[in-house]
Amino acid sequence: MILRLLIKLTHITIVLSFLSSCNKTKDIKAAVVSARKEASDIGISVLNKGGSAFDAMIATDLALTVCFPNAGNISGGGFLVYRTASGEVGSLDYREKAPLSAYEKMYLDVNGDVIPEKSTLGGLAVGVPGTVAGLVEIHSKFGTLPWEDLVKPAIDLATNGYIVTEKQERSLKSKKDDFIKINGKKTFYAQDFKAGDTVKNIALAETLKRISKYGAKGFYQGPVAEALVKRVREAGGIITHEDLIKYKPVWREPLNFRYKNLNIYSMGPPSSGGICLGQILKMIEPYNINQYDHNSEKAIQLIVEAERRSYSDRSKYLGDPDFNKISYNQLISHNYLNNRMKSFTFDLASESKDIKAGKIASKESEETTHYSILDKEGNAVAVTTTLNGSYGSKVFVEDGGYFLNNEMDDFSIKPGFANMFGLIGSEINSIKAEKRMLSSMTPTIILKDNKLYMILGTPGGSTIITSVLQTILNVYEFGMDIQSAINAPRFHHQWLPEKIEFENGVFDELSMKKLQDKGYDVKQEYNRVIGRVDAILVSKSGIITTGADPRGDDRASHIYY
């Protein structure tokens, strides 16, 4: 009785907050939502100067490199999904690649055992960076303002400094030992930066100046490349000048599928994001999930069982499409997915196949970054970009002012061995020279009745797909406004390990017990923070609302009518 009353009250609050948020934000004309206020403001300043969402993207991305060094980057990779005001959709893959001299067993010892930390910490963990090539490619296709004007705000931010937040102080502190282990005591980020301190990164400003002047060549050739290759070598890695010069981003068809009257565009392979999101939504679709309450036992079971089936397919069937044939159509076909759900019943948990799940290599905090941009013309941009782990490989190019990624860990370094997110892969995602490692990043743009409806994405490693999924369902099926949909507690299941992880507020004790009785592995100690979604929603009548995740320092900046 009390529970029902509480649920009713929650629903009333949701409706009220929806109405009030509509009033508050009714006048938004353009928006940038990112992990940091500085970056969102810089994106908006570019829009104010007459730049497009694509111009704002470049400036926002580079600003994040400066003030969000754990994930913002010029030395990692990412994915862009876009829809122009005229309705053209596309995606750019600027994911890192394995170096030319990489090989399948490069992280195994003579006995075939995984050498601890080799794929996560230090030079050998670094994939060939794609970000600068990606940004330059986007500018050459869509840029309207001069390249230098888009790099300048990041140069200024690096020169004048950004202010450390409390969360950032904690994050830097938690990784200090690794910074020192890899780079020595004098490394830039081993300084004890405290909340409120100003961080001026002059070396990074210099790197950005070269990128401003010479574009991609400013990063992949010349002194910046020299410093990068030298640092990677010193730290035990294998990236060469040839690797850098050969790097090319790839325009790819976005993954497209329908869910009820939504038309969803997301990232296809080498990200698993689009296919898994499509699979999970389409497995759920026939059940009309909105007949159950939000985060109720049955809603959770349905989502978890669809996730279990999809993540098992991820492990077996997904990898770099330039190296493997991916059965796109079959994997998201109606018949295939209906068959997958035939074994589902609300009475009992399904069992994940009894594969020997490798141990999670390390308890890495989760740092990637997503931003969503909508300009006043209606161009929509969703970008997720990463160094993989927090501050990537922790290898810091002292002369360049930036960290290098540890994206190589996203490969399946040994069949059945779990990566840092507990994901298990197979041959299809094995290491090969110049191959792209499988990702979970899910930058997504959704149309409803053929009109722009939602732009969203999130960091979170393996939980990216399920956080995007829940945000979509929260808005579309459970009637929440975008901010409440983001705030709502999340849960996550990924086939292996068997457990369901959750945030505070998902399960009350009674439903936890009921789920346990049905065979689900839910325990209080699995509790953690899941994802950081940044999103923009456009109502049927064109009202724009934004949601920035309170789990981080994320912030929406706007232009008003």
Closest contact distance (angstroms) between CB of 196 and ligand DON is 25
Four-residue CA torsion sign, 227, 232, 236, 239: negative
Residues 294-313 that bind ligand DON (CB under 6 A): none
**Does 439 engage in binding with ligand DON (CB under 6 A)?**
yes
CB of 438 to ligand DON, least distance (A): 8
Token readout for 146 is 């001069």
- Residue among 476, 472, 497, 499 at smallest CA distance from 486: 472
d(CA 461, CA 441): 7
In the complex with ligand DON, the residue whose CB is nearer, 212 or 390, is: 390
| Residue of the chain from 119, 168, 440, 494 that contacts ligand DON (CB under 6 A) | 440
* 98 token code pair: 């394995």
Q: Which is nearer to ligand DON, 301 or 429 (CB)?
A: 429
Instruction: Pick the stretch among 250-258, 296-304, 317-325, 437-445 that binds ligand DON (CB under 6 A).
Output: 437-445
Q: Is residue 331 within a helix (H) or strand (E), and if so which, with residue range?
A: helix 328-331
Any idea what the Cα angle at residue 552 is, between residues 43 and 46, rounded to 5°? Answer: 0
Does position 268 interact with ligand DON (CB under 6 A)? The reply is no
Active-site residue numbers? 368
Using CB under 6 A as the binding rule, whether residue 419 contacts ligand DON is answered as: no
Task: State the minimum distance, in angstroms, from the CB of residue 392 to ligand DON.
Answer: 10
Q: Is 441 in the site for ligand DON (CB under 6 A)?
A: yes
What SS3 class is residue 123? helix
Whether 319 contacts 438, CB under 8 Å:
yes
Q: Is 501 in the site for ligand DON (CB under 6 A)?
A: no
CB closer to ligand DON out of 55 and 96: 96
Comparing CB distances to ligand DON, the nearer of 315 and 439 is 439
In angstroms, what is the minimal distance from the CB of 4 to ligand DON?
A: 36
Rule CB under 6 A: say whether 263 interacts with ligand DON: no
DSSP secondary structure letters along 23-91: HHHTTEEEEEEES-HHHHHHHHHHHHTT--HHHHHHHHHHHHHHH-TTT--SSSEEEEEEE-TTS-EEE
In the list 72, 143, 459, 497, the residue contacting ligand DON (rule: CB under 6 A) is: 459
Nearest C-alpha neighbor of 457 from the set 439, 474, 445, 473: 445
Residue spans of beta strands (DSSP E) within 498-550: 501-502, 534-538, 544-548
End-to-end CA gap in the chain:
46
Return the H-helix or E-strand segment holding 242. Answer: helix 241-246
279 makes contact with ligand DON (CB under 6 A): no
Q: Which is nearer to ligand DON, 441 or 536 (CB)?
A: 441
Distance CA 80, CA 72 (A): 14
Residue 78 or 400 with smaller CB distance to ligand DON: 78
Residue 427: both structure tokens together: 């041959």
Among the listed residues 21, 75, 310, 368, the single contact to ligand DON using CB under 6 A: 368
Spatial neighbors of 448 by CB under 8 A, at least 6 apart, are 261, 262, 263, 454, 476, 540
Count residues near ligand DON (CB under 6 A): 14
129 in contact with ligand DON (CB under 6 A): no
Residue 386 interacts with ligand DON (CB under 6 A): yes or no: yes
> Which listed residue (69, 122, 461, 497) binds ligand DON by CB under 6 A?
461
Binding flag, residue 367, ligand DON (CB under 6 A): yes
Minimum distance of ligand DON from residue 79's CB (angstroms): 9
Identify the residue whose tokens are 């459970």. 478
Rank residues 183 and 388 by Cβ distance to ligand DON and give the closer one. Answer: 388
Angle between helical axes of 53-67 and 131-142 (0-180°, round to 10): 160
**Contact with ligand DON (CB under 6 A) among 81, 238, 331, 464:** 464
Q: How far apart are CA 488 and CA 558, in angstroms?
A: 23
- Our separate counts of H helices and E strands in the chain read 17, 19
List the Cα angle 91/225/188 in 5-degree steps: 100
- When asked if residue 73 is in the footprint of ligand DON (CB under 6 A), the reply is no
549 binds ligand DON (CB under 6 A): no
Q: Which is nearer to ligand DON, 244 or 465 (CB)?
A: 465
Q: Interacting stretch for ligand DON, rule CB under 6 A, among 113-121, 129-137, 458-466, 471-479?
A: 458-466
Binding mask 398-417 for ligand DON (x = CB under 6 A): ---------x--x-------
Q: Which stretch binds ligand DON (CB under 6 A): 186-194, 235-243, 330-338, 453-461?
A: 453-461
Q: Write the DSSP symbol of residue 323.
A: T
Minimum CB separation of residue 292 from ligand DON in Å reads: 29
| Candidate segments 121-129, 199-207, 298-306, 436-444, binder of ligand DON by CB under 6 A | 436-444
Tell me how far apart the alpha carbons of residues 13 and 7 are, in angstroms, rounded to a whole number: 10
Q: Which is nearer to ligand DON, 386 or 471 (CB)?
A: 386
Tell the residue number behind the tokens 């090989």, with chain if given: 103
- Report the distance separating Cα 237 and Cα 182, nearest Å: 12
- 513: helix, strand or coil: helix
Contact 151, 145 (CB under 8 A): no
CA neighbours closer than 13 Å in the CB half-sphere of residue 243: 24
When the beta carbons of 305 and 367 are compared against ligand DON, the nearer one is 367
Q: Answer positive or negative: Cα dihedral of 285, 352, 314, 364.
A: positive
If one asks whether residue 206 binds ligand DON (CB under 6 A), the answer comes out as no
Can residue 171 be called a binding residue for ligand DON (CB under 6 A)?
no
Binding segment for ligand DON (CB under 6 A), chosen from 259-267, 366-374, 500-508, 516-524, is 366-374
Residues that bind ligand DON (CB under 6 A): 366-368, 386, 388, 407, 410, 439-441, 459-461, 464
